[in-house]
Structure 1
């Protein structure tokens, strides 16, 4: 069996209690690394005055990690710049927030070259190499330029934008052509795969062959749909843990009989938090008899706090939640509890189980694993209702959720009423359908699906 080399912007250092405290992606990749042997390579999260390429190795639980420090300029231009102020908004269809700066593009190219220079000596001739996410799209081309002949895969964890948006990016053609250095490229949904194929056909004047491979000239890449899952069994167990029971009981005691509506999101404009609060406000306005029977707990830990756009989001949500509370609160009831901090997985599982409704309403999302975690945490005898944006990648798999248009306040208000009125039999039917899918197509299934494709016959040869 070939070793596996995973390359991503950040690295999850393995811990003895990883299954309980690390995200599903980290758990799956660490599991694959234990099975195949190999190494996980990426940025340490630390900066240095001058880049040296020094590798920090860690061995633990059968997994080797290797990380490098980057310069402050790298952090500013590659990570905060091109990755999070150019590609992230563009890939989430927010061209109005996309910043096109030549220095950003230069830093992005420089760091991808530094990754390639540093990781290349760590790769054995028969290793499988799996690159992750928008931070490292050009890395495959850089590795090929340095002589890499190995099987090489790339998975995009964000949406892939339509060609009409992507062409606004300077050097968009070079970025997309770099994907043809990979043998396999994976997307979460058919929509994102179709957007990639349309770009190949319309802009690169390529073709899609009978195997579903994108072909441009003599270059060929197998493009697949591989929707990521969660560690479903682990999260179901987490919801039954002592920590989860304590969190659930705490929520029940503080709710004084009211139905909890929960939202859990990074503080990011793609998550539709402003639109969610406006939809909830419309529910309050339209249903005065129900106001004091529910409350919304919105958990939104800050992210990318140094980027101006994210500071503006936080200020906007602070003001909006304060205004709604000021208008609708009573002496013994506040409609919104707005919390800017994160919680451990077991505690979150308990909060999910206590919630009658989850609002997962991003404006655009590659997948959204909160939706899957909420379903996995539910009590089979009395499950809650998932209200899910049609623009989340998860909507393609979770059709038994109450699907909504997050741009419509009326649509969200109506969905909340529907969820509150939903009979137990219907709640159980919807939940059983979704949990069956989550158990069948969990994060380990996703990992096997991609690695099987990477080891399969759909490769192009690199001379």
Structure 2
């Protein structure tokens, strides 16, 4: 059975399902194939007295059947590759925020240098029949760098964040180099059909790609497959977490403390893409327009710290604190605080209890690749008395979760109206919507995502090389 090699910026121990995300998604196939997970160690090497740090050291540890391999980064490389290019250029542009991108700082050299470092360290560890699955925007050129070293293995790529339309993507200096890097993969996967179409339109208009059918494109003298593979959650695993002691304790405590309130919940990383100021302004509009919500609706907003060394994040932090203070000052009573805002991380084991106790979830990003909070909220609900999901139409999840109340987060009046509908929704309608949403989450779960992507990668590479290989 071919070994799966996963490559991502950061890695996780697949034995620890509490890590969530990729660890849950890939644990089964990594363990079944005795796979390897390769990425950055999280360690930054400071320059020596001579002024320059050496090349990163490789660390290896065994996690059951899975080998975890990491490499250190020099301070100069970290600053250019991670802070500078990945999060200072690609992240804002891919989330449609050209105004926040720092194009002029010359970070692209460090970005390519680290991808070359990863390729050099990874290539000697590969076996001829390995299947390589590269993840996210940090590592777009990795396949091209591996190919340059002579690697002929099957290589797939999945972008976890949105891909913008061609004209926005083309604003990046060197955008053609980036997309050529994407086309060095055998299969490129996106979260939504909209993102997939953006890629197809780009390679047609900018690179003269030819559609040869079946999701295949002939471009740059090779065939690349592309498609939408929306990531899901492990519904059964999340349901088990919901019934675990920590989640049940959270649920019971929320029910006791807010027995006379209807809870609304928002759980996000602190990021300008999440639309948190817009959400709070919509909640303020709700309180202004619907006085009956006074002393009955409470918003619990969790904003986990994220990339606090980037100036745009300190700006949004101050704006959120100001908005929360203003709303509570203008509308609060001695026995009622409209907004409870927490700028810290809440343990994953406790979140399902909070979701289950909430009447409404506000998942209203300005742009998001998928947003798994929406699916986790659905999975955590009591099917006999479920809460209502208010979901941004600009989240990738909106393509699947059509029974949610879809909103335009830029429209505070419209969003406030949708929140009021959610708060007033009859039980039977809540049940019907939840049943349909849960069925979708179960059908397109994380195992479907993993199996479908890897099955397609098998077909794509075998077609290109003519070399058959065993099913994972």
TM-score range, shorter chain: over 0.9
- The equivalent of 1:37 in structure 2 is 34
Asked whether the 8 Å contact 1:263–1:360 carries over to 2, the reply is yes
Deviation at 1:303, TM superposition (A): 0.1
CA distance in 2, matches of 1:254, 1:169: 50
What is the match of residue 222 of structure 2? Answer: 219
Match of 1:10 in 2: 10
Match of 2:464 in 1: 460
Deviation per CA, 1:4-56, whole angstroms, max 9, x where unpaired?
110000010244xx22x111321111222012222000001011232434221
Instruction: Work out the CA distance in 1 between the residues paired with 2:392 and 2:352.
Output: 21
Distance in 1, Cα, partners of 2:397 & 2:245: 29
CA contact (8 A) 1:51 1:70 kept: no
Q: 1:365 to 1:233 in 2, by over 3 A?
A: same
Match of 1:326 in 2: 329
Structure 2 counterparts to residues 232-247 of structure 1, below 5 A: 232-247=235-250
- Contact kept, 8 Å, 1:27 with 1:231, in 2: the verdict is yes
Matches of 1:165 and 1:140 in 2, distance apart?
A: 24
CA contact (8 A) 2:186 2:460 kept: no
SS for the counterpart of 1:444 is helix
Distance (whole Å) between structure 1 residues aligned to residue 248 and residue 45 of structure 2: 43
Q: What's 1:141 paired with?
A: 144
Whole-Å separation in 1 of the counterparts to 2:22 and 2:417: 34
SS of the aligned residue for 1:265 comes to: strand
Counterparts of 1:1-150 in structure 2 under 5 Å? 1-15=1-15, 18-19=16-17, 21-49=18-46, 50-150=53-153
Q: For residues 431 and 35 of structure 1, what CA distance do their matches in structure 2 show?
A: 34
Is the contact between residue 35 and residue 65 of structure 2 (CA under 8 Å) also seen in structure 1?
A: no
**Within 2, Cα distance between the matches of 1:319 and 1:290?**
22
Q: How many residues align?
A: 460
| Equivalent-residue separation in structure 2 for 1:395 and 1:51 (angstroms) | 46
How well do the aligned residues superpose, as a CA RMSD in angstroms? 1.3
Q: Whole-Å Cα distance in 1 between the matches of residues 97 and 210 of structure 2?
A: 28
SS in 2 for 1:69: strand
2:291 corresponds in structure 1 to 288
Deviation per CA, 1:386-405: give whole Å up to 9, x if none: 00000000000100001111
1:217 Cα offset (Å): 4.4
* Aligned counterparts of 2:187 and 2:322: Cα–Cα separation in 1: 45
Kept in 2: contact 1:275–1:407 (CA 8 A): yes
Report the Cα distance in structure 1 between the residues aligned to 2:319 and 2:79, rounded to whole angstroms. 25
Give, in whole Å, the separation in 1 of the partners of 2:10 and 2:166. 29
Name the stretch that deviates more: 3-12 or 213-222. Answer: 213-222
Which moves more between the two structures, 186-195 or 45-54? 45-54
1:380 is displaced (CA, Å) by: 1.2
- Cα distance in 1, alignment partners of residues 300 and 56 from structure 2: 45
State the match for 1:416 in structure 2. 419
CA–CA separation in structure 1 for the residues paired with 2:371 and 2:39: 23
Contact conserved, 1:44 with 1:69, CA < 8 A, in 2?
Answer: yes
CA distance in 1, matches of 2:168, 2:189: 20
Residues in 2 aligned to 1:334 and 1:353: alpha-carbon distance in whole angstroms: 21
Displacement over 6 Å in runs of 4+? none
Give the deviation of 1:457 after TM superposition.
4.3
Q: Deviations over 1:132-184 (max 9, x none)?
A: 00000000000000000111100000111111101110010011011121100
- Residue 344 of structure 1 is aligned with which of 326, 339, 347? 347
Please give the per-residue CA displacement for 1:314-356, whole angstroms capped at 9, x wherever unaligned. 0111111111111111111010000011112220000000000
Q: C-alpha distance in 1, partners of 2:54/2:431?
A: 55
Q: Distance in 2 between matches of 1:99 and 1:125?
A: 40
**TM-score, length-scaled by structure 2:** 0.95
Instruction: Name the structure 2 match of 1:266.
Output: 269
Q: Which residue, 202, 205, 217 being the options, matches 1:202?
A: 205
Structure 2 residues not aligned, in runs of 5+: 47-52, 468-472
SS in 2 for 1:292: coil
> Against the structure 1 CA distance between its residues 462 and 82, is the aligned structure 2 distance closer, same or farther, given a 3 Å change threshold?
farther
8 Å contact 1:304–1:310 — kept in the other structure?
yes
**Matched-pair contact (CA < 8 Å) for 2:360–2:389:** yes
Secondary structure, counterpart of 1:363 in structure 2 = coil
Aligned counterparts of 2:459 and 2:437: Cα–Cα separation in 1: 30
Against the structure 1 CA distance between its residues 425 and 51, is the aligned structure 2 distance closer, same or farther, given a 3 Å change threshold? farther
TM-score (norm 1): 0.97
The verdict on how the C-alpha distance between 1:425 and 1:57 changes in structure 2, with shifts beyond 3 A counting, is: same
